[in-house]
Chain A
């Protein structure tokens, strides 16, 4: 049973380009959470999704960021017109139920904006 799969592991984008980060949850998990981690800082909640629904996006910046979790395929975190401040590690976690004991995290995508 594969864990949470994120790709790419590393992503380099020039300012103004788009970044697409993918997350495939563990088999049987229908709850996906995205977190951002800046160097030397904790995880900041961004968005919580279930299949085809955004449950909580209170941590998402109002502009340039969007997320989806379609019926088929991985969850996608999309950042348009990236800026240097978007450089961070983006972690995805999944759970079977919203009240699960703990999340299983993917290995993260490290985005570098040059």
Chain B
């Protein structure tokens, strides 16, 4: 079956760096996504990885290792507004493309 694991909660300090890990088990892997979701709001797309390696986009970077079924989201120079849930999602091919989401990691940024 398909499964995604990520930590439930993390706390970090403003200005610091935080790494949010995600492991997955799936067949027919076709890409990994990270979304940010503030409480009571819709998820917003952050990053997409389909090949191994690091994708950098401003303060956010995402890494993928397909052989290990592992990804991480790296947030640099943390700001208070980064307090949110971060959802790891995997797209796979199963009769058609489907995307499943992990339960999300709630990040608390403290001053």
Contact = CB atoms under 8 A, between A and B. Distances in A.
Interface of A: 33, 35, 41-45, 48, 55-56, 58, 91, 98-99, 101-108
B43 A105 contact: yes
Contacts, number: 50
Nearest to B87: A42
Contacts of B35: 102
B96 A41 contact: no
A107 B43 CA distance: 8
A102 B98 contact: no
Interface of B is mostly: strand
A41 B106 CA distance: 11
Contacts of B30: 99
Nearest to B33: A102
Interface residues of B, number: 22
Interface of B: 30-31, 33, 35, 41-45, 48, 87, 89, 95-104
A19 B31 CA distance: 34
A1 B25 CA distance: 37
A108 B42 contact: yes
B99 A42 contact: no
Contacts of A104: 45
Contacts of A99: 30, 97
Given A105-B42, A105-B44, A98 B99 contact: no
A42 B103 contact: yes
A23 B24 CA distance: 30
A41 B102 CA distance: 9
